[in-house]
């Protein structure tokens, strides 16, 4: 059988998205729609008040609040939450918060099969994916399982008005990284290309506006809509070098999740986009820039994101171990993964050397549409300057 170059497979994920200001109020109806009678509300300790408000909306359907969620889902926290759920006889969870809280809901679903309603309050995107993670003895295990995909996601921009500007900026760049990598994923598709372009465009416009006016309703609405689209990209495709580097740096060097994404994205764009011309064209169009790496770095600066891996605590002596781990089990990637290339990328990111993309100021006409076939043209990869 001959496979044509534009063949693709797209598997839509079975979930319901409820989006709009004030729509958290519809939580009781959404719980009823799933047939839930006793629901445990999850949050981090800092968001207990919001979890209590959600529980009060649920009135007779609320089983209680577990406000112990922590970053990277420690296995003992997941076990404590499961015990509490059993003790209270809950038949489902509502995870109100960022990726840490939604991750706890997924860990509970992985073990028990209980349905999760996600109410995201950051832009990280976990609510749109079947990806779970659990950390035990300093090691984070991850996997994909349809059982952990939230059944319903309620996006209420009002819940993000108080999200601190620095967390908004870094988690927004975390979301954009999902979309950029989805565009050159081995399992990308025309649907995902549309989601990715719109998601990147929404966040690129909204994040600087949020930095200037954190409570701006229009900017918050646009950022959360972008986060939804970018999260859907993560849920539907296989990630590449950028996510692998973040996984290694978070898992083995304890670098913070969203700031690491924010620092690395422009450097990975320089490395990968020249080898992925269609993705490159879409990212240029979405960012309205002939130099995506530079535009992404400018965006990071505009939202006050950290500038370098050195700022996050990585040392030059750590780089060979990072490179070894990437090369040991490389993810699929559009550009060849070489020791020299990865060391150059990481050294630039370690020092915060300004990244610059290809010199062309005009996009060749064959890149105008994401659904046109790839050009045979491959520009040589540029070194960091």
Site string for ligand NAD, 251-270 (x = CB under 6 A): ------xx------------
Q: Give residue number: closest CB to ligand NAD.
A: 99
Identify which of 234, 290, 270 has the alpha carbon closest to the alpha carbon of residue 380.
270
Distance separating alpha carbons of residues 86 and 177, to the nearest angstrom? 37
State in angstroms the smallest separation of the CB of 16 from ligand NAD. 18
Question: Tokens 């009135």 map to which residue?
Answer: 59
The count of residues interacting with ligand NAD (CB under 6 A) is: 28
Considering only 160, 202, 240, 272, the residue that binds ligand NAD (CB under 6 A) is 160
Candidate residues 109, 118, 154, 167; the one interacting with ligand NAD per rule CB under 6 A: 167
Query: Per rule CB under 6 A, is residue 300 in the interface with ligand NAD?
Result: no
Minimum CB distance to ligand NAD smaller for 31 or for 163:
163
Counted residue by residue, the chain has a size of 385
Q: Half-sphere exposure (CA, 13 Å, Cβ side) for 121?
A: 24
User: Which helix (DSSP H) or strand (DSSP E) does residue 16 occupy?
Assistant: strand 16-19
C-beta of 231 vs 355, nearer to ligand NAD = 231
Q: Which of the stretches 51-59, 119-127, 182-190, 279-287 binds ligand NAD when contact is defined by CB under 6 A?
A: 119-127
Check if the beta carbon of residue 89 is closer than 8 Å to that of residue 114: no
The contact mask relative to ligand NAD for 45-74 (x = CB under 6 A, - = no) is: -xx-----------------------xx--
> Given the complex with ligand NAD, which of 232 and 273 has the nearer CB atom?
232
Distance between CA atoms of residues 121 and 214, nearest Å: 14
| Binding test (CB under 6 A) with ligand NAD, winner from 58, 117, 171, 193 | 171
24 in helix, strand or coil? helix
CA atoms within 13 A on the CB side of 326: 28
Count Cβ atoms below 10 Å from residue 303 Cβ, excluding itself.
21
Task: Report the distance separating Cα 236 and Cα 232, nearest Å.
Answer: 6
Asked if 237 is part of the footprint of ligand NAD (rule: CB under 6 A), the reply reads no
Q: Closest CB to ligand NAD among 98 and 266?
A: 98
Q: How far is the CB of 69 from ligand NAD (least distance, A)?
A: 7
Q: Whole-angstrom Cα distance, residue 255 to residue 247? A: 9
CB of 96 to ligand NAD, least distance (A): 9
Please identify, among the stretches 107-115, 116-124, 276-284, 290-298, the one whose residues bind ligand NAD according to the rule CB under 6 A.
116-124
State in angstroms the smallest separation of the CB of 311 from ligand NAD.
Answer: 17
Distance of closest approach, residue 113 Cβ to ligand NAD, in angstroms: 18
Least distance between ligand NAD and beta carbon 178 (Å): 8
Other beta carbons within 10 angstroms of residue 176's beta carbon come to 31
Half-sphere exposure of 214 (CA within 13 A, CB side): 13
Nearer to ligand NAD, 234 or 287 (CB): 234
Inter-residue contact 139 to 246 (CB < 8 Å): no
DSSP element (H, E) containing 155? strand 152-155
Q: What is the DSSP string of 88-145?
A: HT-SEEEEEESHHHHHHHHHHHHHH---EEEEE-SS--GGG--EEEEEETTEEEEEE-
Interaction residues for ligand NAD, span 86-115 (CB under 6 A): 97-101, 103
Among 163, 224, 279, 345, binds ligand NAD (CB under 6 A): 163
126 touches ligand NAD by CB under 6 A? yes
Neighbours of 360 (CB within 10 A): 12
- For residues 174 and 257, the answer to whether their CB atoms sit within 8 Å is yes
- Name the residue nearer to ligand NAD (CB basis): 133 or 358: 133
Indicate which single residue of 30, 44, 149, 226 sits in contact with ligand NAD (rule: CB under 6 A): 44
Contact residues: ligand NAD, CB under 6 A: 44, 46-47, 71-72, 97-101, 103, 121-122, 124-126, 129, 131, 133, 159-160, 162-163, 167, 171, 234, 257-258
């Amino acid at each position: 059988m001959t496979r044509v170059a534009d063949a693709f497979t797209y598997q839509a994920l079975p979930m319901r998205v409820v989006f709009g200001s004030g729509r958290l109020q519809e939580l009781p109806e959404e719980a009823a729609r799933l047939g839930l009678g006793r629901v445990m509300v999850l949050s981090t300790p800092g968001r207990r008040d919001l979890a209590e408000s959600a529980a009060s909306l649920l009135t007779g359907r609320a089983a209680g609040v577990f406000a112990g969620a922590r970053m990277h889902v420690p296995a003992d926290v997941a076990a404590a939450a499961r015990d509490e759920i059993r003790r209270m006889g809950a038949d489902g969870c509502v995870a109100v918060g960022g990726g840490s809280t939604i991750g706890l809901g997924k860990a509970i679903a992985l073990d028990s099969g209980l349905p999760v309603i996600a109410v995201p309050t950051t832009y990280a995107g976990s609510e749109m994916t079947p990806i779970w993670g659990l950390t035990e003895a300093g090691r984070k295990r991850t996997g994909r399982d349809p059982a952990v995909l939230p059944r319903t996601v309620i996006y209420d921009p009002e819940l993000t008005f108080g999200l601190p500007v620095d967390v908004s900026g870094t988690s927004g760049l975390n979301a954009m990284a999902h979309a950029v990598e989805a565009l050159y994923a081995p399992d990308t598709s025309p649907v995902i290309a549309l989601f990715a372009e719109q998601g990147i465009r929404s966040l690129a416009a909204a994040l600087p506006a949020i930095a200037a006016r954190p409570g701006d309703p229009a900017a918050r609405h646009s950022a959360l809509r972008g986060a939804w689209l970018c999260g859907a990209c993560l849920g539907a495709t296989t990630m590449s070098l950028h996510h692998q580097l973040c996984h290694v740096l978070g898992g083995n060097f304890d670098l913070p999740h969203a700031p690491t994404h924010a620092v690395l994205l422009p450097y990975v764009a320089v490395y990968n986009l020249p080898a992925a011309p269609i993705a490159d064209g879409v990212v240029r169009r979405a960012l309205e820039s002939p130099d995506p790496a530079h535009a992404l770095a400018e965006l990071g600066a505009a939202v006050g994101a950290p500038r370098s891996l050195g700022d996050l605590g990585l040392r030059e002596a750590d780089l060979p171990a990072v490179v070894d781990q990437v090369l040991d089990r490389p993810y699929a990637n559009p550009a060849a993964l070489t020791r020299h290339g990865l060391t150059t990328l990481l050294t630039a990111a370690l020092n915060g050397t300004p990244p610059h993309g290809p010199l062309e100021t005009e996009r060749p006409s064959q890149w105008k549409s994401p659904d046109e076939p790839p050009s045979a043209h491959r520009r040589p990869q540029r070194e960091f300057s």
